[in-house]
Structure 1
Amino acid sequence: MKTKFTISILLLIIATSCVSPKVYKNLEDKYATLKKENRSLQDEYNDLLKAKTKAENELRDSQEEYDGAITDRNTWEGEYKALVNEFQDLKESYDALESSSSASIAANSKKNRELLAKLEAKEQALTSENTRLEKLKKELESRSNRVAELESVIAAKDAAMTSLKNAISNALTDFEGKGLTIEQRNGKVYVSMENKLLFKSGSWAVGVEGKKAVKQLGTVLGDNPDIAVLIEGHTDDESFIGTEQIKGNWDLSTKRATSIVTILRENKNINPENLTAAGRGEFAPIASNKTAEGKAKNRRIEVILTPKLDEISKLLNEI
């Protein structure tokens, strides 16, 4: 999917090879805004993982507190039963002494009253503890449900992105071994296409084979309208001799990204609002520029696919 996105950007660059300053400026503004949104989405994703960990810790603490309360209650129940037995013994002694000693009767009566008071206090303590246990149990169940729901949503997002990655891999099978890589990390899918698949040296015009790959990527993207698509152009560190149309590596990488967007725009199922074109020049290499192989890997288009995180954000606010 990332590959299709990249190819679409390249096609867009071809269609708009002579971009007016105003359009180019708008593209730059849109890229800056989307880049900021992309960073925000990444931060939200990291916050979600932290919130999940926090919720799990709270759930563990509540479980420990609940277990401790159960232990206390059992202890008090034992003490209560012991007091009941002691009270029964005293009552029997009281009955036996009642006819022989008024003094003994008075003493036993006092002790009985004390025991009754203790029993009443224990009963009240047990009632209060049972109420607290019930409250803790409900809180524990509520937190468990929220954590489970959050885990379910995150798992669903990951599964959806895995399915998307697999769909892109299947769609671009013909381009394996031609400078195409597809990865899934940090909740996103990255489709990388080396320039040898897309462009000739110094050009932002997408070749026939490259257009085919981008269009096939676009087909998968059209079936996933809720995915944000960022197309980034990258170069090696070789200085590009500027022309009237190209000012340098950064400009070239931007035009190549825009060419891919142009191709993707041909697919009417793709929402233009989800597309962003960006040029990174030579400033985000993935390999060393000291070797020809490393330079070839750095000359690439990256299509970064990000799912919507609105549902997860809502759950986090409720925890």
Structure 2
Amino acid sequence: MKIHHAMLIAVSSVTLFSCVSPKKLREAEAKYGQLNGAYLEMQGKLRDCEQKSKDSTDQFARRRGEYETRIGRLNEKISDQSEQIEALKANNNQVLNQLKDLSVISGSQAESIKKSLDNIGAKDLYIQDLQKAMARKDSLNMALVMNLKGAVGDLYDKDINIKVDKGVVYIDISDKLLFKSGKYEVNESAKVVLGKVAKVLLNQPDIEFMVEGHTDNVPYKSSVLVDNWDLSVKRATSVVRILQDQYGIPPARMTAAGRSEYVPVGSNDSAEGKAANRRTRIVILPELDQFFKLLETPQRS
């Protein structure tokens, strides 16, 4: 009976597998191959993303360490200068007392000289304060650029460049993100980038800024626009209108300007230079207190 039962199971298994046609089997194998290939591709992309994230973290940590080292050296230099100033003041007072004792100069003359030396010392202290402020500003500039870059886009996106120079914040957005060639209507996809910029600017309601249009030196003319001056202005006003109408930035805070081809950041003799020159620049000139507010990370909705 057991032998009969086993034979029945074996016959059933053969019958079941024989019902699967070779065509369906090949289709299943092909589908499996596709899924397995897609899985391996996704694994590769995941490893690339993890490596890029690690590289970005390492680079940020390295730059931060460089700035901290630089600031530490400046503080040491300031401390050394302070000690030298105090030593010089003490020596000057000693010399004055010796001169007064020798009756080379009168007491009033010695007092006048002492006041002059004190004024010099005060100026030295003022210079030290400026040096400290400059050292702190270098650190703030780096943090500000990192915060803005992180809010606006990928930290190493070549099409979005943010820098701080002499207290002025510059956000450069490549025109290939915003416009089609020779056009001044903003692309729908570019509004994502402008929305992120608007979020940063709305977070600082007291800051005014300028939107500048820039072009390369290729002559331009259309039925509506005369030259690159017109094109650069129209592109700037297109961006300003979107920031006003779609993201609610008060128009009184904005200025639209066209710079045409006359403020290049690269050589117009190469395709790469021309591409760099075709850009929209947002220029922020904050007051001192506003400069520090920019360091506050915008709250994410």
Q: Out of 70, 95, 103, which is 1:72 matched to? A: 95
Task: Identify, as 1 or 2, the structure richer in helix.
Answer: 1
Q: Secondary structure at the match of 2:189?
A: helix
Q: Is the 8 A contact 2:153 2:193 kept in 1?
A: no
- Residue number among 197, 201, 205 corresponding to 2:181 in the alignment: 201
C-alpha change, 1:292 and 1:248, in structure 2 (3 Å) is: same
Q: Return 217-226 or 152-161, whichever deviates more.
A: 152-161
Instruction: Tell whether 2:279 aligns with 1:256.
Output: no
In structure 2, distance between residues paired with 1:251 and 1:275: 19
Q: Secondary structure at the match of 2:119?
A: helix
Match of 2:284 in 1: 305
> Deviation at 1:301?
0.9
Question: Which one-letter code corresponds to 1:283 in the other structure?
Answer: Y
CA shift at 1:209, angstroms?
2.6
Query: Structure 1's 251 and 72: CA in aligned 2 closer, same or farther, altered over 3 A?
Result: same
For the residue of structure 2 that corresponds to 1:208, the secondary structure is: coil
Residue of structure 2 in register with 1:168 after alignment? 148
Who is 1:284 aligned against?
263
State the AA in 1 paired with 2:278. Answer: R
Task: Give me the whole-angstrom Cα distance separating, in 1, the residues matched to 2:112 and 2:282.
Answer: 54
Q: TM-score if structure 2 supplies the norm length?
A: 0.56
Tell me the matched-pair count: 206
Distance 1:208 1:307, change over 3 A: same
Alpha-carbon distance in 2 for matches of 1:175, 1:143: 41
Match of 1:212 in 2: 192
- Please tell me whether the aligned partners of residues 235 and 298 of structure 1 are also in contact (alpha carbons under 8 angstroms): yes
1:71, CA displacement in angstroms? 4.7
* Structure 1 gaps, min length 5: 1-58, 81-120, 312-319
* Residue in 1 that maps onto 2:112: 132
Alignment of 1:33-182 (within 5 A): 66=89, 69-76=92-99, 125=106, 127-128=107-108, 131-132=111-112, 134-136=114-116, 138-140=118-120, 142-151=122-131, 160-174=140-154, 176-177=156-157, 179-182=159-162
- Give the 3-state SS of the residue equivalent to 2:272 in structure 1: helix
1:191 aligns with 2:214: no
Letter of the 1:234 partner, please give it: H
Post-superposition offset of 1:253: 0.9
Letter in 1 for 2:280: I
Partner of 2:211: 231
Task: Give the equivalent residue in structure 2 for 1:13.
Answer: none
> In the alignment, residue 292 of structure 1 is paired with which amino acid?
A
Distance 1:262 1:153 in 2: 38
Distance 1:252 1:142, change over 3 A: same
Normalized against structure 1, the TM-score is what?
0.53
The alpha-carbon distance between structure 1 residues 222 and 283, as it changes in their structure 2 partners (threshold 3 A), is same
Q: Tell me how large the CA RMSD over aligned residues is.
A: 3.6
Q: Deviations over 1:111-160 (max 9, x none)?
A: xxxxxxxxxx57x83x4355336524542454345445545555565555
Distance 1:68 1:145 in 2: 18
The answer to whether the 8 Å contact 1:69/1:129 transfers is: no
